[in-house]
Structures are given as structure tokens and as C-alpha cells.
Amino acid sequence: MHIYISGFLTLALMLLSLNQAAFATDTDRSIIEEALNGMVCPRNIDVIVEGAYYQSHRLNSKEKKPERHFESGTLDHSFRYIKAERKKVLNAAREAGPDSEMRTRALFHFGMMLHTINAFYQNTNFLEKEEKKLADSGSNSFDPYEMELIDWSEAEKAGYKKLSKEERNKRATKQLQNSTYGKVARGLAIREAARQWDYLEGLLRNRYPQDADTIVAALKSAGCDNLVPEEIKDHALHARTQSSQ
């Protein structure tokens, strides 16, 4: 009887973990899929999404790192974190052609980076500053979905500020031209995710000119054996695998 109850509780916890994972990735998954469908194969998109989920999961953990979600007092930490993740992607991608594990690692870290970048549009006053800029230029009527994306080279000097949770909740449904701030932030994040993939391809071609075609093709369509790299030991997928052994 004790064994039966123990097994039931284990199964219940696993199902709860699955449900939490699905909920946590809803926003990131929809953005990533819309941005990369047709460019990256479904299996590799799933790896990218798992990287984004890992960031989202850690937001609610004891090891929460606010700079990964543009929630720290100094946003410079978030900008530097994005650069650090991009370096990890580039380093892992070097062997992404022949090595499935390195392919997984590169795509997973790309997903971690995309979650942080998505958080920039959701959690800072970027939209407010852009709206004011357009209004000051005399553009009282504009398509908010055509707003320019952030210039990352100038981001650290632009004076962006994080929004409190209350401010974010209030503005999510606030009118912005013919849409809402929440919907426009999502639209910009989709465009940004596609731009980041194009930017990654350019960086790979500059860094590994002789192998770039093979690397890019592998990241797009070679597929990955695992959804999570071996180095990430505290991901829910690893925990479920270990508990079943």
C-alpha cells in the first residue's frame, strides 16, 4: 500500500511539473514558433523553447537572477547577460555540424537569450519612450507594429527603466493606437526573435567562414538527439528522466 501511494505521488508530481512547464512556455513558445517557423525545423525549435522555459522556470526559483528577465535595478546587467549568452551560442555552434550535443547546447542557449530579449519588450519602458519619440516628431497616428526595434548598440546609454509588476499589468491592456501595449510588445518580440536568428547567422559566417554553411544548415534542420544539453542538470526534463530510472 505504501509503495502504491508513493508511486501515485511521484506520478502526480511529474504531471504537475509537465503542466507547469507547458504554462511557463506559452508566451515564449508562441513568439519563437511564429518567428522561426519555416526557418528552423520543429525539433530544433523545441530545443530553443526549452531554453526559454529554463529561464522562465528559474524566475520562480530560489536561484532567481533578475538580470535574466530585465527585472534588476540596473538594466546594464541584462544587456551584458545577453552578450554573454550570445558568446555561449557562438562557441557551442563551432561543433554544431557533426555533434548533436553541441547543436543542442547552441540552440538551448539561444532560447535562453531570446527569453531575456523578449522580457526587454515586456518589462521595460521601451514602448513608452518610442511612443513619445513618435509623438514629439508629429506622428500622432502610426502603426505601432511598425515601430523600430531597439538599437542594441545604443541600449546601455538610452536610459531605459524596468517597469514594476503593477505597471506591467496595467499597461498590458492599455490602448496603443489601434492595439494594446501587450500585443505590440509581443509583436516586436516576434520581429526581434527573427532578427536575432539572422544576426546569429551573420556572426557565424564571420567567425567560421569555412564551416558556416554546414553549421547554419545543422542548426536549422539537422535535428537534435536531446532537447536539453547535458550541462543543464536542474532542468525539469533531466529531473523527470532521473526520477524514472
**Number of Cβ within a 10 Å radius of residue 209:** 9
Q: Max Cα separation, the chain? A: 74
Q: Residue 145 has what pLDDT?
A: 87
Task: Please check whether residue 43 lies inside any domain of the structure.
Answer: yes
Q: Are 102 and 94 in contact (CB under 8 A)?
A: yes
Task: Please check whether residue 180 lies inside any domain of the structure.
Answer: yes
Task: Please check whether residue 239 lies inside any domain of the structure.
Answer: no
Average pLDDT in the 83-101 region?
A: 97
Select the more confidently predicted residue: 29 or 236.
29
Query: Between the CA of residue 188 and those of 4, 16, 17, 55, 98, what are the distances in Å?
Result: 50, 32, 30, 20, 34
CA neighbor of 128 nearest in space, from 79, 185, 90:
185
- Model confidence over 188-235: pLDDT tens digits? 999 999 999 999 999 999 999 999 999 999 999 999 999 999 988 776
Task: Please check whether residue 45 lies inside any domain of the structure.
Answer: yes
Task: Please check whether residue 90 lies inside any domain of the structure.
Answer: yes
- Residues 6 or more apart whose CB falls under 8 angstroms from that of 163 comprise 123, 124, 125, 171
**Number of Cβ within a 10 Å radius of residue 27:** 17
Q: Residue 25 has what pLDDT?
A: 52
State yes or no: pLDDT of 141 exceeds 90.
Answer: no
Q: Residue 110 has what pLDDT?
A: 98
Strands (E), the chain: 175-176, 179-180
Cell 569555412, located at residue = 210
Q: Residue 4 has what pLDDT?
A: 46
Q: Which of 69-73, 93-97, 204-208 has the lowest mean pLDDT?
A: 69-73
State yes or no: pLDDT of 87 exceeds 70.
Answer: yes
Helix axes 181-207, 126-136, angle to 10 degrees: 100
Q: Residue 237 has what pLDDT?
A: 63
Residue 83 grid cell:
552578450
- Model confidence over 13-64: pLDDT tens digits? 343 333 333 333 588 999 999 999 999 999 999 999 999 999 887 655 556 7
Task: Please check whether residue 16 lies inside any domain of the structure.
Answer: no
Domain of 138, in residue numbers: 27-232
Query: Between the CA of residue 164 and those of 73, 107, 122, 171, what are the distances in Å?
Result: 11, 31, 11, 11
State yes or no: pLDDT of 241 exceeds 50.
Answer: no
Number of domains in the chain: 1
- Model confidence over 123-139: pLDDT tens digits? 999 999 999 988 888 77
Task: Please check whether residue 182 lies inside any domain of the structure.
Answer: yes
Task: Please check whether residue 6 lies inside any domain of the structure.
Answer: no
